[in-house]
Structure 1
Amino acid sequence: MERKSFLKAVAFVSLAPVVLLAACKDAGKKQAGEEKVQTYTCPMHPQIVQNKPGTCPVCGMDLVPFDKNNKEASLTLGESQMALANITTMMVGAGALSNFRQLNGRLVTDPEKSAVISSRVAGRIEALYVKETGVKVSKGQPLYKIYSEQLASLQQEYLLAVAQVTQFPDDARFQQIEKAAKQKLVLYDQSAGDISRLVQSGKVNPYVTYPATVSGVVSGLTATEGQYVNEGGEVMRLEGYSQLWVEADLYPAEAAAVQVGQPVKVIIAGWENEPQTMTVQFINPSLQSGSQLMQVRGTVPNPDNRWQPGLQANILLPVTSKGNVLSLPADAVIRDGKGAHVWIQKARGKFEPRMVSTGMENFDDVEITHGLVAGDTVVITGAYLLYSEYILKKGADPMAGMPGMGH
């Protein structure tokens, strides 16, 4: 009995290394097999991870492969990838940063660029050469022709005075009469050429054509062909758009923050990337009728008449300012539920995320209160593409596991 037990023990000891070696080989094969298993994740929801292709149960997007064993927190891109993603960087430095309060406003026609075309004589509108609003006219362009019996009478008076001077050239009284009659014609907008042609022909012409005194756009017509108008009666109105007013609404409590002569930024709807600089020229001291609002006003140039009166134009009124702060363009800061982060360039083509705390902001820049130091090289365009690329390659949020820093 003892002999059988001894033989069994010897046999077990002899076979144990072989069994253990086989088990280790099987475990190694199993582990190697596990390492070769491809994992997939959703580009929009990196928490979705599985070992086979499919679609995201949250958004339905196709899952993409990623290497779950790659724990490096940085991304490395080639030159072509950087160019395709339009990645640009800047070195962070201290400077001034201002915050703004937005005042709702609008573009308005500048009255200084408007003109009323009125009849210089009483008579009947024989012809209107511009018959609709919105038409551009140039200075000197004929606008209307008028028939005036009064003008014909003055022309006849002048012809008689010229005849008297011709017959009695040495008579000072006749010379004064001729000058007075000529001056009357000049006051009725008869040019030197018109008067010269009148003398040469010796015939009165009751029709006179009046040109535009300024260039502009016809904004209103108050006379029609065949209509009689009085001397000084309005025929049409012209508006010039080469310069426009900007009027913005202002609450009385905000009036202390703006002064006449103060430069401000103006953002015109549709041209947000081209802010204009305007000097405040007038602050209406009284409230608008039916409201509790004041008005602030200035002018902006309107090159090529590209803006029209009535467009929305907001004034950015500086209300706070800080000096010696670190700031970045707003697009360089990526925000999510875990906080805010930026991408730092550690070497050419190598980028890594970094959590930051933000402070004061305006429409263009964000103050960085913690997380950066002067001299850091930060990605200012293409940051969101780096964020997406990280999720695609790593299958995780770049901020996952990092302590939040707050805003």
Structure 2
Amino acid sequence: MKRIALTGLALAAILAAGGAGYWAGQRGIAVAGLRTWFGIEGSLAANEPVGTGPVIYYQDPDRKPVYSAGPRQTEDGRPFTAVHASQDISFEEKPPSEERTAQADAKRVLYYRNPMGLPDTSPVPKKDSMGMDYLPVYEGEANEAGIVKLSPGRIQRSGVRSEPVRRKAIDRSIRVPGSVQLDERRVSVIAMRADAFVQEVAPVTTGDRVAKGTRLVRIYSPEISTAGAQFITELNAAARGVPEGGARQRLENLGLPPEVIAEIERSRKVPLTINWSAPRDGIVLERTVSDGMKIVAGNSLFRLADISTIWVLADVPERELAAVRIGAPAAVQLRGRPGSSFEGRVSVIYPQIAEATRTAKVRIEIANREGVLLPNMYADVEIGSGDAAPELAVPDSAVIDSGTRRVVILDRGEGRFEPREVKLGRRGDGMVAITEGVSEGDRVVISANFLIDAESNLKAALSGFAQPEAKP
């Protein structure tokens, strides 16, 4: 109020000193000087039209880009200016009148369109029912259907950013649980193929490590002894020129170790008891034999496993199987040994889905030279994408996924944006592959794209309220 009073007193003083005629001749200079002197630019705009209709919003009295939905005051107590429906309610930054005139001269105006996107046009400038100016459509812009246009100021305020579409190998890692299992090809079962009696069992127990050729058990078998005696008879007959029969093959069929057969052939004697040895290096998984017991043909005596190479079976969800490839690298961490890590590669994807868990087994082979990996250990597995080929990709934030449609916003330059429906490929590493809809080098909006999409949808919805009219 003091400011207004001072302004009025200054005006009165000027009128009194110079007279009405002088005031009338110098009105523009005096008003401009007062505005500059008192810092009230825009508050004494006598030639501005008075607003009509309801108040739409309130603006800072110094025309700063500060707005309010209701009455408000500045820090120094001045009220915000009410903006009515008949006044300009656009938040867009408009160039100076000289620049607008130059733009209009450079491009010929074809017609004026409704500012709210309704299919209403006019050959001359006009306002709509809310007092908003119809927007000019210049030559060359009439056929840009579906294009959303934003002013530089609005783009800056919204934080719109764009990046080019480029080819990139998408690295997608899948983290799943798994368990350590034996390599089925490295498990051996020691069983008898004839009835026998256990003479002595070596001091080997479950969990012991044994080397190939280590004696495990000494047995006596009447059937093996009979076959051995027949073998010696045939060997003696062969020395006189009689061809050998099938005694050697019978000993091999009974599972007699090759070194035992060679010893019988050399010494021409059948041993009373026979030593059974380990067929491979490994650990004893199972021992079912004791001194003095009778063994029936087919009974298992020992079960051995070579754990120098081990399997890790990972449970991959059904929806992730498409991202797993044979030969893909995998990292395994044991839950029982935090910090430990083992590297391997996917060797087999099992061809069935577990009905209860909807997962598939994926086999990873790992070298276990130190024997740290033990059967049935729990593990956390991270499977990489392998040598994926480069493909068109954009950041995840560039895609607007409504569930029924996937859209990216193309940046056409000069504040023009075009929504484009696309088809997606694999995801990973913060990127998503685009299989259809864009080309390499196209720029896509990666920030504030949902605002542009919302404006595009609003424009399309409003255009459906009425049938398009013929353009002037």
TM-score, normalised to structure 1, is: 0.48
Q: Which has the higher contact order (CA 8 A, sep 6+)?
A: 1
TM-score, normalised to structure 2, is: 0.42
